[in-house]
Amino acid sequence: MLMTTGPWVWVAGLLTLAIYSFLYKDNPVYKMAEYIFVGLSAGYWAAFLWWNYAYPNLFEPLAQGNYWNIIPIAMGLMMFTQLSRRTSWMVRFPLTFVLGVSLGLQIVAAVEGDMVPQLAGTFSPFTRGAMFNTYDFWTSVGYIVLLVGVLTTITYFFFSKEHKGILGVSSKIGIYFLMVAFGASFGYTIMARISLLFGRLHFLLSDWMHVLK
Amino acid sequence: MRLQIPLAIILIMGLFTIVTSFVPAKPIADLNQTFRNWYIGIITFFIFLGTFNLVRVNGERIKTKARDWQYSIILIAALGVMLFAGFFKGRASLDEGSPFMYLYFNVQFPLEATMYSLLAFFVTSASFRAFRARNTQALVLLLAAVLIMLGRVPVGTSIWKGFPDVTEWIMSYPNAAAKRGIRLGIDLGLISMALRMILGIERSYMQ
């Protein structure tokens, strides 16, 4: 059993142990790894976004003669005006442009890509007869559960009227559906984290230490 | 001018984007695409501003020799190395096998994965507290989580073969129902808030 001689594997292995040292207590080795992580991440995203978004969308067309792109570049540079109190009001121009386009896109996406398909998926088993054509009992029950679940969950988030009477009963049922969803999400989160932990342990014991074959 | 022009920009851009999303005709669709490209380009400046600010704040910490200022040197050095690796060869800096990707796969990725895997320990202790069936609702949460986990791991199947089917049913119906309800609520909230901002009723973001 010989440990790897690959320098990058050693770097990755030692940094992994540095992060896990936090399980004992906050210490300088962990802090060092944490600051390296923040610095590298910032550098990674700056380079990644530049070469994949800013350069092809703004600077490359400008270099090819599309001078209209001076406008968004100027707006992008205006972001830096907020670093000074005297000029910070200028950040409103790029901010409102970005917000205007983003909100417009989100309204269209919410209606077209989310609300309509979600509602169609909830009601179509009943309107298209799929509910009655299926021979699987649990699928039919599932369609009813789905419809009841969507309606009761929505009523739980309906705050314009006091939750009394039918609304109160419906919102209480909605809470149980929410609990199922939260339980499922929590279960998945635990599994995802444990899976990452296994991945790192496998890396340490296999790629680095060669204990596991 | 400091208020009216930004309000006009958000109104025009918001309405233009909504209306032109339904107009596939050439000049309008092209203009829509141009504005989307500008939008994508401009939002990248947020991360450049963030990076600049990171350097500024940490530079200040080093200058004033604030508490733990030595770590700020490490941060700026790591940032400098990554930026150099990401830009020195132009666009080819991001190619497979480049120093930039080496740093990503051998330093940043292990750090990121370990950082998130660290949460496994904290999530375990959190679940010990959350998974106490104090009332019926907590019992439902506990049962859903346990069934989902048992249905997705091999040990669950070896206990009872039906666990994956139960998990699938929970995910497809009661879980999907609640997620849809939440989703529809978010969408309705998003639309109302977006319209308030586009129409200039909501202006708190400008302060």
Query: Chain B residues with CB inside 8 Å of A34's CB?
Result: 71
DSSP state of B91: G
- Predicted pLDDT at B176: 95
Residue of A3, A8, A30, A35 whose CA lies nearest to A17: A30
Are A188 and B148 in contact by the 8 Å Cβ rule? The answer is yes
So what's the pLDDT on residue B121? 85
B4 touches chain A (CB under 8 A): no
Chain B residues in contact with A95 by the CB 8 A cut-off are: 6, 205-206
Whether B35 is covered by a domain: the verdict is yes
Whether B135 maps to a domain, the answer reads no
**Sorting pLDDT into bands at 50, 70 and 90, what band is B197?**
very high
Q: Which residues contact B163 (CB under 8 A, 6 or more apart)?
A: B147, B150, B151, B156, B157
User: Tens digits of per-residue pLDDT, A113-169?
Assistant: 899 999 998 988 887 666 666 667 888 889 999 999 999 999 999 888 898 999 999
CA dist B161 and B108 (Å) reads 40
pLDDT tens-digit readout, B14-29: 999 999 988 888 888 8
A49-101 tens-digit pLDDT: 999 999 999 999 999 999 999 999 999 999 999 888 899 999 999 999 999 99
In a domain, B162, yes or no: no
**Count of domains forming chain B:** 1
Task: Report whether B130 contacts A186 (CB < 8 A).
Answer: yes
Q: Give the pLDDT confidence score for residue B2 in this predicted structure.
A: 84
What is the structure's pLDDT at B189? Answer: 93
CA torsion, ordered B184, B186, B191, B196, to nearest 10 deg: 150
Using the predicted structure, report yes or no on whether residue A19 has a pLDDT greater than 70.
yes
pLDDT digits (tens, 9 = 90+) for B19-70: 998 888 888 889 999 999 999 999 999 999 999 999 999 999 999 999 999 9
Inter-chain residue contact A178 with B182, CB threshold 8 Å: yes
State the Cα–Cα distance between residues B45 and B179, nearest whole angstrom.
34
Task: Give the structural domain span for B54.
Answer: 1-87
The answer as to whether B178 is a domain residue is: no
Please answer yes or no on whether A51 and B91 come within 8 Å at the CB atom: yes
pLDDT > 90: percent of chain B: 73
Residues of A in contact with B148 (CB under 8 A): 183-184, 187-188
What is the distance in angstroms between the Cα of B11 and the nearest Cα belonging to chain A?
7
Give the mean model confidence (pLDDT) for residues A198-209: 90
pLDDT at position B207 over 80: no
Tell me which residues of chain A, numbers 175 to 194, contact chain B at a CB-CB cutoff of 8 Å: 175-184, 186-191, 193-194
Is B150 part of any domain?
no
Among B7, B42, B94, whose Cβ lies nearest the Cβ of A76? B42
Mean pLDDT of chain A: 91
- Chain A nearest CA to B195, separation (Å): 8
In a domain, B26, yes or no: yes
CB contact under 8 A, B34 and A42: no
Residue percentage of chain A with pLDDT more than 90: 68
Rounded distance, CA B61 to CA B120, Å? 33
ipTM: 0.85
Smallest Cβ–Cβ distance between A43 and the set B16, B82, B181 belongs to B82
Residue contact A41–B108, C-beta within 8 A: yes
- B190–A contact, CB cutoff 8 A: yes
Please provide residue B95's backbone torsions phi and psi, each rounded to the nearest 5 degrees: -70, 160
B124-166 pLDDT per residue, tens: 888 777 777 788 998 999 899 999 999 988 888 999 999 999 9
Are the Cβ atoms of A174 and B52 closer than 8 angstroms? no
Residues B43, A42: C-beta atoms closer than 8 Å: no
Residue B161's alpha-carbon distances to A105, A136, A184, in angstroms, are 45, 19, 19
Closest CA to A32 of A50, A19, A46, A45: A19
